[in-house]
Structure 1
C-alpha cells in the first residue's frame, strides 16, 4: 500500500528554484531553509533590493501622476487610466509577498516536509510538479506576449502617427523633452514595465504552485484511505480479527494526521496569500471592463486589436489559473470524505470507541474546504464565470 520515496523531492526542488528567482529580483528570501551569507553579501543584496524596488515604486508613482499632463491624446488618456489601476495592483501583489514572507516560509516547510516521511506517492508528486510548471509557463507566456505586442503597437504608432515610442504613460518625461539623458530615462521607463510584470508573474507562479501542491497533497490523502481498504481486504483470512482491528486503527489514525496536515496547509494558504487572490479578482473585474471600453471608444487597427486582445486574454488566463487551482483544492478535499468513508472500517470489526473516532473523522472531512477573495468571493470553477460576467457588467455600466 505504501509508496514511500524519501530520496527525491521534486516539489521541493522546483519551489526552491522559484524562490531563488524571487530572491534575485529583490523581493527577499521566501525559502524556509537558511542560506549562509557573508556580511558583504547581505549588504550588497540590501543595496540591490533597495534600488530595484525604489525604481519600480517611483516609476509607478510617475504613472499615477500622468493625469496632470494636458497634452495627452485620447489613446494616452485611456492607457493612463488603465495603468493607474493595473500597475498599483501589480505592486500590491509583491508588496504583500514581502510582508507575508514568514507565513509563506512556514507554509512551504509544512507543505513539503511535514508528512512526507510518513506517506507519499512519488508519481502524484511528479504530476503536481508537471502541473505547476504548466501553470507557470502559461502565466509567463501570456504576460510576455502581451508586453511584446504592446511594444509592437507602440512602434507602429510611431511610424503611422509620429507618436514617440512608449508603452507606459508617465508625468515625466513628455514628448516635448529631448536629449540623451531623457532618452535614457525613457528606456528605463520601458524596462520598468518588464520588471513589474516579471515580479507579478513570480508572485502568481508561487501562489498557483502552492495551490497545486495542496490539491495533490489532498489527493495523496485520498489514495491513502483507498489503499487502506485494499489492505484490510487482503488481510482478511490471513490475520486474526484482533490483528486486523489493531492494524486498521493505527493506519486510520495515521491517515487522520495526514488529513489534518493537508487541511492546515489549505487554511494557511488563505492567510499567507489571500491578499494576492483578492487583488487579482479586483484587477480582473476592472481591467477587463476597461479594455472593452478602450476597444469600443478608440479607433482600432490590427496591432491594437492584437495588443489589447492579448491583454484581455492574459488577465482572463491569470484569473482562470487562480480559480481553477483553488477549485481543485475544494474538489480533492471532498474526495477525501468519500475515500475515508470507504476505507474499510466496517470490515475491521472495530470496537464502539474506535467507530466513534472514525465517525468524528468522517464528519470533519465533510466540512467544505475553499479559498476566498476578500473573504467573500469563493475561488471555484463556477465563480470564475461569475467574475468574467461581472467584468462585462462593469463595461456595460461604464460605457
Structure 2
C-alpha cells in the first residue's frame, strides 16, 4: 500500500476517534469544524480529563486500601501522561497535516511495490500486537474487579475519588462500570490517534530511507548498463540522478525534524511512563506479601504493555538511525568515479558526492527532551534499570 493511501486510511480512523481531521486535502475525510463534531470531540476529551482528575484526587487525598491506593497512583500517573500525549498531537495538528503531504510525496516515484508491501505488513503486525497487549492489560484489571465482586467486595477497575471504598450503592456500582467503559474507549483514542500514529510515522520514514538507498544503488546499476554503449549520456544521467537523490535526502532530513517536533513529546512521555510506572508496578510485586495470581498477572500485563510500546518507539527510531547510516556508502558507490567525461558538470560531481556523503554521515538520532537518544541502547538501559530496582527491593523484602 502506498504511503498516501496508508496515511489517509489511518487519518480517517483518527477522525472517528474524536481528535480531529489530520488529512491535508480539505474535508476529504470529514469536517472537524462542524458543530456536531466539535460537540462530540469536547464530550469525549472532557470525559477522559474528568476521569483523570478523579484518579489524581484518589491518589492524593483518597482513603482506599493499599491495593486500590497503588492502582490509583498507577492510573493517575499513566492517564495523566496519556492526556499529555493526546493534547500534544492535537496541538500539532497543522504541522502533522503538512507532514502527511510531505512524507506521502517524497521518494514516491521510486517506491518499490514489494518494499511497500513489506512496510504495510510490518505496520499491521506492530499495531495488532500493540492492541492485543493493551487490551490484555485492561482485561487483567477487569478480571481482578470481577474477582473482588465475587469474593464479596465491589467491582472496580479504575480507582477514582468518587465513589468511596465503602460506597456499594447502585449509583456507585454504575459509576465504576462507567469508568471501565471510559477506560476502554480512551484506549482506542490513545492507540489510534497517538501511539499507532507515531509508530506508523517512524516505520514509514524508515522505509523512505531504505527507498532512497535503493535509489542510489539503482543509479550505479543503470550507469553500468548505459556506460557500455553511451558513456557521455550515462554520465549526464548519473549527474542528474545524483542531484535528485541529494535533494530527496535533504527533504527527508527536514521531514525528520518535523516528525521530532510533532511526535517528540509522545515518545518522551512514553519513556517517562514506561520507566516510572513500570518501577511502581514491579515494586508492588516486590513488596507485597499476599499477592494473588490474578493481581500478579494484572501487574505483569500492564508492565508488558508499557515496555512493548516503548520498544516499538525506540527500536523503530533506532532502525531509522541504522538505515540512515548506510546512505553514505550508497551515495559514494553510485558510480561517479567511473564517469569518463571531464566537462564542468562532471568535474564538479566529485565535490557534490563529497558534500552529500558528509551530510549522510552525520548521525540521524531522534532525542527525547533533546537529551536522551531514542535508540536500541536506550531501551535496553531502561529495561536494565527497571529490573535492577525491582531486584534490589525484592531481595531486601525477602
TM-score by length of 1: 0.92
Shift of the 282–39 alpha-carbon distance from structure 1 to 2, 3 Å rule, reads closer
The residue that corresponds to 2:131 in the other structure is 140
Which whole-Å deviations, capped at 9, do the CAs of 1:49-81 have from their partners, x for residues lacking one? 111111110111011001355641110111111
The residue that corresponds to 2:328 in the other structure is 337
Q: CA deviation at 1:24?
A: 1.4
The residue that corresponds to 1:122 in the other structure is 113
The 8 Å contact of residues 274 and 307 in structure 2, kept in 1 or not, is answered as yes
Query: How many positions carry a matched residue from both structures?
Result: 388
Worse overlay, 206-215 or 345-354: 345-354
Q: CA deviation at 1:12?
A: 2.3
In the aligned structure 2, how far is the partner of 1:267 from the partner of 1:97? 15
Q: CA deviation at 1:181?
A: 3.7
The residue that corresponds to 2:314 in the other structure is 323
| 1:111 lines up with 2:82 in the alignment | no
The 8 Å contact of residues 103 and 272 in structure 1, kept in 2 or not, is answered as yes
In the aligned structure 1, how far is the partner of 2:372 from the partner of 2:38? 37
Q: CA deviation at 1:276?
A: 0.4
| 1:258 lines up with 2:248 in the alignment | yes
The residue that corresponds to 1:380 in the other structure is 375
| 1:218 lines up with 2:209 in the alignment | yes
Q: CA deviation at 1:200?
A: 1.9
Which whole-Å deviations, capped at 9, do the CAs of 1:67-116 have from their partners, x for residues lacking one? 35564111011111111211101111111110111111111211012441
RMSD: 2.0
In the aligned structure 1, how far is the partner of 2:318 from the partner of 2:50? 37
The 8 Å contact of residues 286 and 394 in structure 1, kept in 2 or not, is answered as no
The residue that corresponds to 1:246 in the other structure is 236
Q: Match of 2:160, SS?
A: coil
In the aligned structure 1, how far is the partner of 2:57 from the partner of 2:226? 73
In the TM superposition, 1:144-223 aligns within 5 A as 144-160=135-151, 162-202=152-192, 203-223=194-214
In the aligned structure 2, how far is the partner of 1:340 from the partner of 1:205? 32
User: Which ranges of structure 2 fall in alignment gaps of 5 or more residues?
Assistant: none
Q: Match of 1:67, SS?
A: helix
The residue that corresponds to 1:233 in the other structure is 224
In the aligned structure 2, how far is the partner of 1:38 from the partner of 1:125? 27
Shift of the 305–67 alpha-carbon distance from structure 1 to 2, 3 Å rule, reads closer
The 8 Å contact of residues 288 and 392 in structure 1, kept in 2 or not, is answered as no
User: Which ranges of structure 1 fall in alignment gaps of 5 or more residues?
Assistant: 1-8
| 1:81 lines up with 2:73 in the alignment | yes
Shift of the 294–105 alpha-carbon distance from structure 1 to 2, 3 Å rule, reads same
| 1:53 lines up with 2:59 in the alignment | no
Shift of the 305–398 alpha-carbon distance from structure 1 to 2, 3 Å rule, reads closer
Shift of the 344–68 alpha-carbon distance from structure 1 to 2, 3 Å rule, reads closer
Shift of the 68–15 alpha-carbon distance from structure 1 to 2, 3 Å rule, reads same
Shift of the 383–87 alpha-carbon distance from structure 1 to 2, 3 Å rule, reads same
The residue that corresponds to 2:384 in the other structure is 389
In the aligned structure 2, how far is the partner of 1:12 from the partner of 1:39? 20
In the aligned structure 1, how far is the partner of 2:385 from the partner of 2:189? 27
Worse overlay, 280-289 or 124-133: 124-133
Of 241, 261, 268, 1:271 maps to: 261
In the aligned structure 2, how far is the partner of 1:313 from the partner of 1:207? 19
Q: CA deviation at 1:36?
A: 5.9
TM-score by length of 2: 0.92
In the TM superposition, 1:275-314 aligns within 5 A as 275-298=265-288, 299-314=290-305
Shift of the 390–37 alpha-carbon distance from structure 1 to 2, 3 Å rule, reads closer
In the aligned structure 1, how far is the partner of 2:236 from the partner of 2:2? 34
The residue that corresponds to 1:358 in the other structure is 353
In the aligned structure 2, how far is the partner of 1:133 from the partner of 1:289? 30
Q: CA deviation at 1:251?
A: 1.1
Of 64, 72, 75, 1:72 maps to: 64
Q: Match of 2:365, SS?
A: coil
Q: CA deviation at 1:204?
A: 0.7
The residue that corresponds to 1:5 in the other structure is none
Q: CA deviation at 1:37?
A: 8.9
Shift of the 359–69 alpha-carbon distance from structure 1 to 2, 3 Å rule, reads closer
Shift of the 36–215 alpha-carbon distance from structure 1 to 2, 3 Å rule, reads closer
The 8 Å contact of residues 282 and 390 in structure 2, kept in 1 or not, is answered as yes
